[in-house]
Amino acid sequence: MYPTVFDVLTCAAVADELQAQILDGRIQRIGLVDPLTIGAEIYARGRRRGWVASADARRARVLLVDAMPSVDPNLITPFGLLARKYLRGAIVTGIEQPPLERILRFSIAKRLPPLKDGRARSSHDAEEEQDDTEDEDLAVYTDEANIFRMTVIVEVMGRHSNIILVGPDGLIMESVKRVTPRMSRVRPVLPKQLYTPPPAQDRPDPRHLTSAGAEALLTAGSRDAQLADRLVRGLRGVSPQIAREIAFRAGGAIDAPLAQVAPADLSRETRALFEPLLTGDWRPCLYRRDGELVDYAAIPMLHLAATGEGNEVASISAAIRIADEEQSGAPTPQDHAQRRDRLNAQARAAQARIDGRLHSLRAQGGRADAAEDLKHRGELIYAYLWQIRPGQTELDVDEERIPLDRTLSAKENAQHYFEEYRKAQKAGATIPERIAAAEAERGYLDQLITQIAQADGFAALEGLRDELEAFLGAGKPETGQHKRAGAKQSLRRPQALTDAHGNAIYIGRSGRENDLVTFSIAGADDTWLHARGVPGAHVIVRWRQPGGEDEETIETAAALAAWYSAARDSGTVDVDVTQRRHVRKIKGAGPGMVTYRQERTIAVPAGDETVLKRDGRLD
């Protein structure tokens, strides 16, 4: 069960927490985590905090995190460009929640250069200017005309969630989701249109529910109807979770019928539940049942505690983060997981396209194998022309049945089979080569997917992104003859590890690094290692003394080759060992794709640098 609550109580608790933690703070860095999620680092009250806001319908949320979320600088959208331009270096001057709405409004102020003609500044002027200002404290802003004020509006409303930038003139600058009039006649959301908030619900305010109002709710429907359903439909800002809690408190059960509840109890419990909106007395809780997280709430929920175990947490942001991670299986964006997942999805999509091409080529190869049968059918038709009548659909001769096209003459049917025979022959000559090329491309993507999963930082992921873009841009892996125009060609030299005997061990952690360590760093007599039969890193041992090979060093390098392979989780991994002179690049294949010979195979447990240093095998 995924937590369904980001209701008005949660929103209010988040607003209070943000006011206490980041109000008057400076936005130091900002960017997009994904197309619907923005992340920022905000410096306030002597420390830096991370801030996340998402309009993803499945995970819409606003919260604080401990550190700046991992944003993707290569994800470029109109919203992202404007956010970086006008929010970076700005001051958060106000945070508010409209009453009983799942909306947070962030007032932002930033100093911009004065307009040359002295006109008053508008959002359209701001969009056309370059931001070359230095970060300054808002307190030193002396010219009010040069302070650009805008509002970031985060609407956390399920599938209608959005993040909207609104200029000082009330016009929309941009949003993460554009809503056209065709999508919503009531409330389009487009640049240069006046921002209008979601229509307010014309229902009674639960904060001021009287006994008379409660009685009107209870008598408006069937007495057997459930109170929780009636509350969701009858009161403003009441979510299903809040409604179940009121029903539990006033009627003794979450499915309590209207007939079971007294008006005085209903009005009292409803007002009590919304009391933290006035007092700020938030007590965020997580609720588990049989060890599984089922929900979270900004205040204690008795109906959840009655069927599970409740635990208070330090803040509402902590509750949202923990619930989000445990229920979705995806971490709140604070590392490179999103970038890694995006690269992995792109690589697997390309792999699926190659699989489709291979299926088609193999089908064509099967038809090419049948080419002689086509020729044989044409010859039989010529041999029995005299037996074939106009409109005949089949020739039955020598225990063979040959289909005929009734619209063609006998000679035309024979010529059709000969034509198909010539096409099959021609295709058959190139299909094996095309299948081999497609299989090489797929093998390259297997290697890339393994390297993406094992990449250990931003720089490594960026290098792999370049490789993947080269592949996707050229339609084939990047080679010396097919390099993507404008691709980044700079490549850092891998750092050598030194074993206990002073030998240098190099590891390639991308296709380009594999090529570098194998064909540029290694000498012909150095030892080359690779996990057998699976994608992985090229590992090179550069011997301190020529001819000074020893098995202990080779086993250390093999443990590293096993670790940096797709088989690292196996108990033991088979690793091939040969001299570098016996390794050759595959012509036309992507970086790191090689063939080798005269290898021997050893089985070793996988081990990373930390384990090998602890065991004294690496310095």
Rounded to whole angstroms, how far apart are CA atoms 445 and 443?
5
pLDDT in tens, 33-92: 889 999 999 999 899 999 999 998 888 999 999 888 888 777 889 999 999 999 999 999
> What is the average pLDDT across 250-260?
92
DSSP 520: I
Amino acid at 346: Q
pLDDT at 11: 96
Distance of CA 133 to the CA centre of its chain: 33
User: How far is the C-alpha of 478 from the C-alpha of 10, rounded, in Å?
Assistant: 50
Q: Which of 503, 511, 508 is nearest to 560 (CA)?
A: 508
C-alpha closest to that of 560 among 617, 609, 512, 495: 609
Q: Are 564 and 539 in contact (CB under 8 A)?
A: yes
Kindly report the average pLDDT of the chain as a whole number: 85
196-214 per-position pLDDT tens digit: 999 888 899 999 999 999 9
Is the per-residue pLDDT at 327 higher than 70? no
Under the banding of pLDDT at 50, 70 and 90, the label for residue 118 is low
Tokens representing 203 are: 């229902």
pLDDT at 360: 82
What is the number of residues in the chain?
619
Cα–Cα distance, 468 to 474 (Å, whole number): 10
What radius of gyration do the chain's Cα atoms show?
Answer: 34
**pTM for the complete prediction?**
0.57
CA atoms of 368 and 419, how far apart (whole Å): 13
End-to-end, the C-alpha distance of the chain in Å comes to 49
Distance CA 375, CA 369 (A): 12
Residue type, 615: D
Q: What residue segments make up the domains of the chain, in order of their start?
A: 1-199+284-332, 201-281, 337-474, 497-614
User: Quick one: pLDDT at residue 375?
Assistant: 85
Q: pLDDT tens digits for 468-520?
A: 888 887 544 444 444 443 344 456 678 899 998 899 999 998 898 999 999 99
DSSP state letters, 380-435: HHHHTGGGPPTT--EEEETTEEEE--TTS-HHHHHHHHHHHHHHHHHHHHHHHHHH
pLDDT score for 398: 75
The more confidently predicted of residues 546 and 15 is 15
Q: Does domain 201-281 have CATH number 1.10.8.50?
A: yes
For 306-320, what is the mean pLDDT? 92
**What CA–CA distance (Å, rounded) separates 256 from 270?**
15
Q: Are strands 600-604 and 26-34 parallel, antiparallel or unpaired?
A: unpaired
One-letter amino acid for residue 192 of the chain:
K
- Best CA proximity match to 54, nearest among 34, 33, 36: 36
Record: fold of 1-199+284-332? ibrinogen binding protein from staphylococcus aureus fold (2.30.310)
Sign of CA dihedral 291, 296, 298, 304: negative
* Segment 397-401 mean pLDDT: 82
Q: What is the mean pLDDT of residues 414-428?
A: 81
What are the C-alpha distances in Å from 369 to residues 212, 421, 442, 591?
86, 10, 24, 33
Amino acid at 374: L
Report phi then psi at 289, rounded to 5. -130, 120
